Amino acid sequence: MWSYDKRLQYPVNIKNPDPQTAKIVITQLGGPDGEIGAAMRYLNQRYAMPYKEGKAILTDIGTEELAHQEMIAAIVYQLTRNLTPEQIKEGGFDAYFVDHTTGIYPQSAAGIPFSASALQSKGDPITDLFEDLAAEQKARTTYDNLLRLIDNPDVREPLKFLRAREIVHFQRFGDALRVVQDHLDSKNYYAFNPAVDLRKSPRKTAASAETDTTEKSE
């Protein structure tokens, strides 16, 4: 259960509209490395996380990604409000405008709508956390690319804040990975799926299945 605080995590106050900038910033809403995908990835992965510390980290970061989604939406909204038809055409925002007016629609900078196919929830904490570490680095790189292209300080400052948070998230997922590894065999972290194989059941682990196959071949 969440409680909503009626303010952005970091203030967004953009003075001048700029549809051209909105076209690229929107990728961090619905693009392949955007905030919607991040929130959905982490909040769903937590169900397969068997350790409370790891589950808490996934919940915390997934919740914060919802706040980041709101920030990106606010940036896009402020960059496109009160546009004239001339500004829409000059900024290359006409194709978006025809489909969505200036409503906030999750898509990439290339105009591809948000898709859950860009994320994974594998049900294996080790696998999922490595995906999460990579996801945070890809998001950080996307923010780097946006900052290379955008000069407006009203847009740059919230993007710099979001970039910094991606680095913090990367570090926290590293902590979560160590939590999981501390519960496993240090000689082979990949012998088990701790979400499945450590339960009290007759189900074979990947390691035991491999042993059975070897014994039969002999």
**Residue 110 to residues 8, 54, 92, Cα–Cα distance (Å):** 27, 35, 12
196/70: higher pLDDT: 70
Q: pLDDT at position 53, please? A: 97
Residue 144 lies in a domain: yes
198/48: higher pLDDT: 48
Residue 24 lies in a domain: yes
Helices (H), 10-51: 19-25, 27-30, 35-45
DSSP assignment of 108-123, as one string? -TTSPBP-GGG----S
Together in a domain, 137 and 92: yes
Together in a domain, 51 and 109: yes
> Is this prediction's pTM over 0.75?
yes
Together in a domain, 66 and 111: yes
Residue 14 lies in a domain: no
Give CA–CA dist 104/2, Å, rounded: 23
Mean pLDDT of 129-138: 98
Q: pLDDT at position 2, please? A: 82
Together in a domain, 145 and 205: no
Domain that holds residue 206: 193-218
Going by pLDDT thresholds of 50, 70 and 90, the confidence category of residue 205 is low
Residue 1 lies in a domain: no
Together in a domain, 174 and 206: no
Poorest-pLDDT segment among 59-63, 100-104, 189-193: 189-193
Going by pLDDT thresholds of 50, 70 and 90, the confidence category of residue 196 is confident
Together in a domain, 133 and 210: no
**CA angle 106-123-1, nearest 5°?**
60
Poorest-pLDDT segment among 13-22, 35-44, 156-165, 208-217: 208-217
Which pair of tokens denotes residue 184?
A: 């496993």
